[in-house]
Structure 1
Amino acid sequence: MGNIEWMILDWIQSIRTPAGDVIIPFITKLGNMGMIWILLAVLLLLIPKTRKAGAIMLAALCVDLILCNGILKNLVGRLRPCDVNTGVQLLIARPHDFSFPSGHTASSFAAVTALYLAGERKLWKPALVLAVLIAFSRLYLYVHYPTDIFGGVVVGIISGIIGFWAVGRLEKWRKRHGGMEEKAQ
């Protein structure tokens, strides 16, 4: 698998353009620390009609943070391609954490999965386009291997499912116990 990954990364480097070298770092910045997704989740929380979707997104992003950055990156400890092949000029600051899985990709796909499962039909599709662009940007910028991206997609989807499940369980618990509190008063 290693040679195929290097071939893909080298091919992407061969198709770099001056315009791409400006646009792609901007796209990747949208995914820095999951901020675009956190902002969207907060906006959804502020609107009563989409509050549940916002809660699912935040839960998914929290699960992703624990799984991806808290556990897997440190457990796997994979060096980034830019640390192995230092001959490629980076367009962004060199990341200081490990490579697997891609945190940008994982948070993006956690958000997309949360939106999809929450039934946000108008939001999940454009979010998916942005998630794919952010994932590709990590390859273009030479800071992740293709399997890091794949791992990020998988971790993100799992996080989105867990976030959806957790909010559903909390909602059931509140309905069951909320009624008891009202009766006690």
Structure 2
Amino acid sequence: MNFDFGILDFIQANMRSDFFDAVMPFITRLGDAGIIWILATLVLLAVPKTRKVGIAAAASLLLEVVCCNLLLKPLVARTRPYDINTAIQLLIQRPLDFSFPSGHTSAAFAVVSALFFSKNRLWIPGSILAVLIAFSRLYLYVHFPSDVFVGALIGIASGWIGSLVVQKGKRE
């Protein structure tokens, strides 16, 4: 945990600025409840040309929600960093669920990975947003780096599995 706090405290000491204090809450809100990724998935599903990618994205989101929110968060029940270091003043409302893993990060990387493994070039701009959302969780002191890292891994695995499901369905 010292390693996690070392990174969080480095960000607080060396990267905090008025600009990021204004931008990071907006970026993190894009990932609230996975809304930006759900909307992107719905658009992909609505367009016949990208429907299969949309199915992969939807499957990846479903898998990551089950893994992160239904299984791991309640099982691990990790306290959030701002509850341990109470000197931090939050720029957003306090999340009410547990810290591990980061659901924002997991959802972001699930859809981006589904795009990547489905060979859809939208993974490129999507990955920029995914990385920004993941970093915003650290900047805002609501997740430990290990929460974000594991969230990214779960998202990547979910995206890979989601795209495999669609590829397997095409063959049958």
Give TM class, smaller chain.
Answer: over 0.9
Distance 1:156 1:13 in 2: 26
2:5 corresponds to which residue? 6
1:120 corresponds to which residue? 120
1:81 corresponds to which residue? 81
- Can you list the C-alpha shifts for 1:119-155, whole angstroms capped at 9, x where unaligned? 112x101100100000000000000001001100111
Question: Which amino acid letter does the alignment assign opposite residue 81 of structure 1?
Answer: P
In the alignment of these two chains, the number of paired residues is 171
Question: Which amino acid letter does the alignment assign opposite residue 155 of structure 2?
Answer: G
Distance 1:106 1:57 in 2: 12
1:66 corresponds to which residue? 66
Distance 2:24 2:128 in 1: 14
- Which runs of 5 or more residues in structure 2 are unaligned? none
Runs of 4+ in 1 over 6 A off after TM superposition: none
1:151 corresponds to which residue? 150
**Under a length normalisation based on structure 1, what TM-score does the superposition of the two structures give?**
0.89
1:177 corresponds to which residue? none
Specify the structure having the higher radius of gyration (Cα): 1
Give the Å deviation of 1:16.
0.7
| Identity value in percent | 53
Distance 1:54 1:6 in 2: 37
1:31 corresponds to which residue? 31
- Which runs of 5 or more residues in structure 1 are unaligned? 174-185
**Under a length normalisation based on structure 2, what TM-score does the superposition of the two structures give?**
0.96
- Can you list the C-alpha shifts for 1:4-30, whole angstroms capped at 9, x where unaligned? 211111111112111111100000001
